[in-house]
A and B are shown apart, each in its own frame.
Chain A
Amino acid sequence: DTGVSQDPRHKITKRGQNVTFRCDPISEHNRLYWYRQTLGQGPEFLTYFQNEAQLEKSRLLSDRFSAERPKGSFSTLEIQRTEQGDSAMYLCASSPRGGLSTDTQYFGPGTRLTVL
């Protein structure tokens, strides 16, 4: 399967713990995006990378959130000191195009985070 993969698919954690999610994009895609989605809402943009460079970061992303893409391939999203409000589906998407555009983005299955 050459689609976008995410790991883990589900994560349950206690408030205050740190969590890290991984995303493996489609191999030839140089653009990688992270979104957060809550029930009944559309995906909310968090950040995106072109190769290893983080080019855009939402102002909604607090200092507890950090993302990396060290070798321009897979990416990790870390949430420190989780809060109950962080409970959501975290989606990763990749795109072969340059620029921050809404040309075709391929989404992974997501990581569902539940903070108790």
Chain B
Amino acid sequence: GQSLEQPSEVTAVEGAIVQINCTYQTSGFYGLSWYQQHDGGAPTFLSYNALDGLEETGRFSSFLSRSDSYGYLLLQELQMKDSASYFCAVSSAPGSSASKIIFGSGTRLSIRP
């Protein structure tokens, strides 16, 4: 089957750095994405990794290791507005009979002053 695991909750201090991990099991892996969702809001895209390595977008970075079936989202210079749920998502190769998109259960990030 296909599954993703990420921590359910993380707490961090404003201005600090936090890392949210994601491990996955899937057939025909295609890519790993991260989404942010504030309470009552819709998920918004943060980053996408198809190849191993680090992708940086402003204060957010995402890392992927395909050999380890592992990725993480790194948030730097945390701000109160970063308090939200963060989801990793994977899909198998497009067009395959087993292809579908799987989201993790989400990590609720709480920022303390």
Chain A residues in contact with chain B, CB under 8 A? 33, 35, 40-45, 48, 56, 58, 91, 93, 98-110
Judge whether A109 and B42 touch: CB under 8 Å. yes
Judge whether B100 and A45 touch: CB under 8 Å. yes
The DSSP consensus for interface residues of chain B is strand
Pick the 8 closest A-B CB pairs, nearest first.
A99-B94, A42-B103, A102-B33, A107-B42, A100-B94, A100-B99, A104-B45, A45-B101
Chain B residues in contact with chain A, CB under 8 A? 30-33, 41-45, 48, 87, 89-95, 99-106
Judge whether A42 and B89 touch: CB under 8 Å. yes
Judge whether B99 and A45 touch: CB under 8 Å. no
Could you jot down 16 A-B contacts, CB within 8 Å? A42-B103, A45-B101, A56-B100, A93-B43, A98-B94, A99-B30, A99-B94, A100-B30, A100-B92, A100-B95, A101-B30, A101-B31, A101-B94, A104-B45, A104-B48, A107-B43
Q: How far is the CB of A89 from chain B (nearest CB, A)?
A: 9
Judge whether A43 and B95 touch: CB under 8 Å. no
Chain A residues in 8 Å Cβ range of B102: 45
Closest to A47 in B: B100
Q: Kindly state the separation between the CA atoms of A77 and B90 in the bound complex, as whole angstroms.
A: 24
